[in-house]
Structure formats: C-alpha cells, structure tokens
A and B are shown apart, each in its own frame.
Chain A
Amino acid sequence: MKALPGSFDSRAEAALADPSLQKALQNFKPLFVAKRAAAVAELSDFERLRDAAAAIKDAVLSELDVWLERYADKVESLGGKVHFAKDAADAREIIREICRKADARTICKGKSMVSEEIGLNEVLEEDGYRVVETDLGEYIIQLAKEPPSHIIAPAIHKTREQVADLFAQNHPGRPREDSVAGLVNEARHALRERFFESDVGITGGNFLIAESGTSVIVTNEGNGDLTQTLSRVHVVTSGIERVIPTLDDLSVFLRLLARSATGQDTECYTTLSTGPRRAGDPDGPEEYHVVLVDNGRSKMLAGRFRDMLRCIRCGACMNHCPVYGAVGGHAYGWVYPGPMGSILTPLFNGLAENYDLPNACTLNGRCQAVCPVRIPLTDLIRTMRNEQVKAGLMPASQRRMMGAWGWVARQPGLYRALERLGSRMLRLRAGRRGAMSSLPGAEAWTRVRDLPAPQGATFIDQWKARGGDQ
C-alpha cells in the first residue's frame, strides 16, 4: 500500500471533522476494551501467558535464521515451496510469478496485513486478475477503494449506513439491505460465487510452526478456510518473524490472541495448513507456497526496536490508544495504525517522512499495559523520538528551545529568576481572574483551554521566606 496523501495533521483534522467516522469510533471503542477486560479477567494465568509468549518469541528471535531454515525444510519436505522475499517489490514479483504459472483468472484473498504492506492488490489488478478480498471488512473497503483503518477490523471506520450504500451500488439487482444480518448475508452470497471460481487463494499467516511446517490462520468468518481450500494454489504471505517452534507454543499464543484482539475466548476458526493436498485428501490446494517477507525486519532484529518483532498483530494497542480513538486509523497514513504503526511505519517507510507518528502520542502507556507479548510500546515510541533527534529531525525551533531550556535549567540561579519573572507576569495578566483566556505565545494552549494563573510567588521563594529548611 502506498502512503496516504497529506500530512498527519491534515488527515487527523479531517478525521476529527468527519461525523460518521467519529460515530463509528465512538461505537467501537468501548466494545473492544470492555470485551478484552472481561476475557482477561476470566483467566487466572493471563499474566503468566504473556510472559511465556514473550519468552517464546525472544528465544526464536535470537536464532531466527535457524528456525526459519527448520520451518522451510519441513514445508518443502511436505511438498510445499518456500520463497524468501527481501523487500516488498521482491515479494510482489514472487507472487505475480506464481499466479502467472498457475494461469490464474480469479484470486481470492483472506485477510493479510503483509499483503497490504507489500501493496499486492494493486499489481495483481494491473496484471488483469480479478482480485477478491473475502474478509467482510476487507471486502467492504475493497468496494470503497479505501485502505484498512484497523489491522483486525479494517472497515471499522464505516457505519452500517455507509456499508448499506456501498452494497446497494455494487450488488445490482438486489434489494437494499439495512440490517447487519442482512448485509452479512448479502456479502456471503456475493463471495460464495467467487470462492468457487478462485484459482489462487492468498492468505496471511498468523503463526508458522517450525516442527510441523504448518501455517496457521485465525478468522471469525471462515473465509480464510474457503480461500485456501477451494483454490488450486494456496499462497501464504507472512513476515519472517512469525515462525514459532512447536504446536505447544501455538497453544500459548492462541489463548492470548483472541482475548487480546476481540475479547473472544477463541476465534471461530483456527485453521492449520500443512503442505498441498496429499494423495487421498478429499480437498486442499494442488500447490502450497509460503512467501516469507523480510522488508526491513532483519534490520530491526539487530537494533533498538527488536522487541517490536514479537508483535502478533492483535490490535489491542490501537483499541486502547486514546489518540487512535480520536482520529482512527487513516490518520496514521499507512497499513499499520496506532502505537504499533507509530514504530513500524517510520522503520519501514522512513523516520523523516513519518516524523509525526511517534510524536502524536501522549506516552500514556495504555498500549504497553495491554500488549499480549509485552512489547514496551511506549518506551519504543520514545526511543523512536530519540532516533529522530539523533537523525537531526527535530524541528529547528524546537531544538533551539530545548537547547536554551536545557542550559538555563543547569543554572539554578537563573532558572529561579526566570520562574519568578514568569510567575509575576502571568499573575499581572490574569489579575484576580485566576486564569487567562489568551496569552501571546501560548495560543496552542489557550485556543482550547484557559491557562490557570500562578497562585502567588513561587513555592521555593515562599518556602525560603518562611524559613524552611535549605
């Protein structure tokens, strides 16, 4: 996916001024948060599960090359084919080639964030294939020609009325549906046709299991199963960091994923695929490919953002992020929104181009508190700011202010004097009103809120005057 046009500010501003988006955000916010909290409360050992999951991921990441090789060997021994893609362009070419060789016409897709990351749909459509997203949310935004705004609920920014309008335009000859059940049913009918025509089925891979050569997808709609079972060729797209050693390890992650993502005990479908159809299998694809995408991940492995590679893409961080809750996913400009995107997007697409993402955060820590694999998201967002400073990206005006402030703050006498002066001037301006509704130089504050005035002389001056210690 290409980065969305405009600046973070302009996209955020548009989001705040969009009443139907605000309504959609208002509806979804309490839902995910409350459901997760209830699901977590039901488990007595959730915190230990988080520790275990983080430990499994850390162990794999410390020997990632070894685990990837084991996984690839196993897949190939079962008749599958593993492709390593160094970047997005490489991944796209590999998949185009698979589709070409399969003489495909229709390509069905289960939800895959990596496919969004590498911008797959655009090139496949240019090649003339009929590309059909089969996850309901992805289907909706494909019809709307919009990027996803959430990693597990891509059309969360759309209201029911907007979906009804879209379906009415795109499904001619059907009466307009307005109920949720009616709309789901309508999508099911439309998609069922496509599944039967599908030549290549492309899915993501929530987990890749080294010991068995298995790829695992987790869905609520069963669309992923139909995509990979009914197509002649199954292509799994996945990041290289998604490999885990064993099926036992999988059980740890499955207990965390659904609870963190949607607050379900488990998603409706957890599907394990191991190789192509074997002799005697009643169904399954003739070919089974796994495209393992690096696209900057191996570089992360060696740096300060390695913990981010533990991410299992549950979306809990954005569900709990008050900034995401205010502006939605499109403001973040690319595939990964919210806290995880504020780290991944600058790493994948450039620190300078995405300067705002880590800065548009209050460091409130709610994301970090809910992350199932204990990624220190808030700390990493701050670390990203440090990387930006080291790269000389802090705006000159802010850099000058920080430098001056840092110098003054090391001259206690001068600092005291300036505090004293500031206090006196603010009190003069406020008079007896207790607060100011405007203040030159502080418009960004006073445009939104009054500025409470200082109560009197500074605390330290008063303390000294009262003969306090030191």
Chain B
Amino acid sequence: MSRSTHAQPRVGLMATCLMNVFRPNIGFSAADLLQAAGCRVEVPTDQTCCGQPAYSAGDDDTARAMARQLIAQFESYDYLVSPSGSCIGTVRKYPQLLADDDAWRSRAEALAAKSYELLSFLVDVRRVTIDASYRGKATYHDSCSGLRQLGVKRQPRELLGQVEGLSLTEMEDAEVCCGFGGSFCVKYPKISEKMVDDKLRSIAESGADTLVGGDLGCLMNIAGRLRRTGARVRVWHTAEVLAGRTDGAAIGEEETR
C-alpha cells in the first residue's frame, strides 16, 4: 500500500457483486474516471458483499457480520467509492446497524462518512470535467437508493451534459421505481412486471434511444425487459458513458465483434 497525499487520495473501489460478475466494464470505467480525477485507485481483492441482501431482508445478524468485514477491508483508504447508489446506501446504514456495538460503531461512522457513490464523488468531492463522446439521445433513470438516500440527482446530469454528441432528455416519472427492488422482483414478479412496463412506457414516450442509470440491478431489470419486449433501446451504466467505454455491447446486447 502506498501513502496518500492531498493531491492524490487513495480510493478503495468497491466492486459490487452484480458489477463484478455481470458488467466488469463498469468497474474499469469507474477506475478510469477516478484516475482521471487524480485518485489512486485500489481494489481490495478479498472484498465480497456489503450485505445489502441481508439488510434489506431484515436479517440484521448476517448484515452486521458483512458490515464488520467490509469496514475492516476499506477503513484504511481515504475514500470508499462504488458505482452503485444502493451499495453505498447500505454502507451509510452501518452506523445505525452497529449502533449497539461499542467496538464497531465509531469505525462504522468513520467509514460511512468517507463512502461515496461514484458520480456524486466525481462532482461533489473531485469536481471533474468529462472528456467523452457518445452519439445518441439518452434519458436518465434515477435509481431510488441513490436518489433518496444519497441525493444523487444533478450530478449524473451535470456530467452527462459534458459528453460530446449526447443529448439528454428527461422522461416522465424518472424518479419512480423500475420494479427491481432486489429480491422483490423475483418474489412479486407480476407486480414487478407492471412497474417495469410503466418504466418502459416512459422511456418510449421520451423518444430516447439510450437509457442510462447508476445502479446495475435496475439497469439489468430494465434492459432485460426491453430486450424481452423487443424494444431497441441501449442501456448503459452512467460510468461507461462518461468513461467513453461504449464501443462494445450495451447491457443485455448481443456481442457483435
């Protein structure tokens, strides 16, 4: 491990479970963006999960165990950053989750205070400018956790506005849940289907050919439904577009190369 300076903070990149398995491109995009923002990026390779599935299910004992593990893995960094609002939202809940644990409460508070969702980190902490291009008319889906737990709203729009060739159009109900909700989408598939169809209608009415968002779970849900219904809208994580890593297949798209 290297020592950090003010000029080059050490950032621990949290590789979310979904990103790690399904969409490494988001991880590399995040690393590119953080490096361009003057950060030294490290990826602790023993990290597993933030515990969100257990926390959301109400299994606090399991969630606490995961929280302690992740705190130990990341607390030595200047920042913990992750390209997911819901995973960072979970880290921000650690102090509450470990409120009765004298040994861990203050460590949880310290980590929560320096944990950031990628886009808000880039704008609010690092004040970056973006040098990327994308040809298309995009609309942004506000994933619920990022929006309501972390206040991620203007940051992605501000950054996407700097992408050459990309025009951003707002859809109706951009802030309404897409019906993913973690295990919700498989426990209540019919309600989830209705919700994602409402989202697809908003996307279609916006006239956008591209959907971008900040949480892979939501994006896989929307992309999977778009593909099932034959809609030709490309789906990217915001980080991929901002890092200019959009040469390959979008989420759920056929490989053409």
Could you list which residues of chain A lie within 8 angstroms of chain B, going by C-beta atoms?
A: 9, 12-13, 16, 322-323, 326-327, 359-366, 368-369, 382-389, 394, 398, 402-403, 405-406, 409-410, 412, 415-416, 419, 422-423, 426, 432-435, 437, 442, 444-445, 447-460, 462-464, 468-470
Contacts and interface: CB of A to CB of B under 8 A. Distances in A.
Nearest to B187: A359
Contacts of A444: 185-187, 189
Nearest to B58: A385
Interface in B97-152: 144-145, 147-149
Contact of B62 (A402, A442, A451): A402
Interface string B64-88: 0110010000000000000000000
Interface centre among A386, A389, A409, A433 (most CB of B within 10 A): A409
Given A410-B69, A433-B254, A444-B187, A394 B59 contact: yes
B20 A460 contact: yes
A389 B46 CA distance: 29
Given A366-B148, A366-B177, A402-B62, A432 B255 contact: yes
Given A406-B65, A455-B23, 4 more contacts: A410-B66, A434-B253, A435-B224, A458-B20
Contact of A463 (B43, B149, B255): B43
A362 B181 contact: yes
B204 interface: no
Contacts of A469: 40-43
A363 B40 CA distance: 34
A406 B52 CA distance: 11
A464 to B, nearest CB: 6
B152 to A, nearest CB: 13
A432 B59 contact: no
Contacts of B23: 452, 454-455, 459
B232 interface: no
Nearest to A22: B194
Nearest to A395: B187
A409 B19 contact: no
A376 to B, nearest CB: 11
Contacts of B22: 452-455
Where chain B touches its partner, the secondary structure class is helix
B238 interface: no
Nearest to A358: B58
A361 B48 CA distance: 26
B48 A389 contact: no
Interface stretch (B24-32, B162-170, B205-213): B24-32
Given A362-B179, A366-B176, A452 B191 contact: no
Contacts of A419: 17, 20-21
A181 B198 CA distance: 31
A114 to B, nearest CB: 29
B36 interface: no
Contacts of B31: 463, 468
Given A16-B190, A419-B20, A449-B225, A364 B65 contact: no
Contact of B228 (A422, A437, A468): A437
Interface in B210-226: 220-221, 223-225
Given A322-B195, A360-B191, A460-B15, A448 B228 contact: yes
B194 A389 contact: no
B67 to A, nearest CB: 11
Contacts of B24: 455-459, 462
Contacts of A451: 220, 224
A432 B253 CA distance: 9
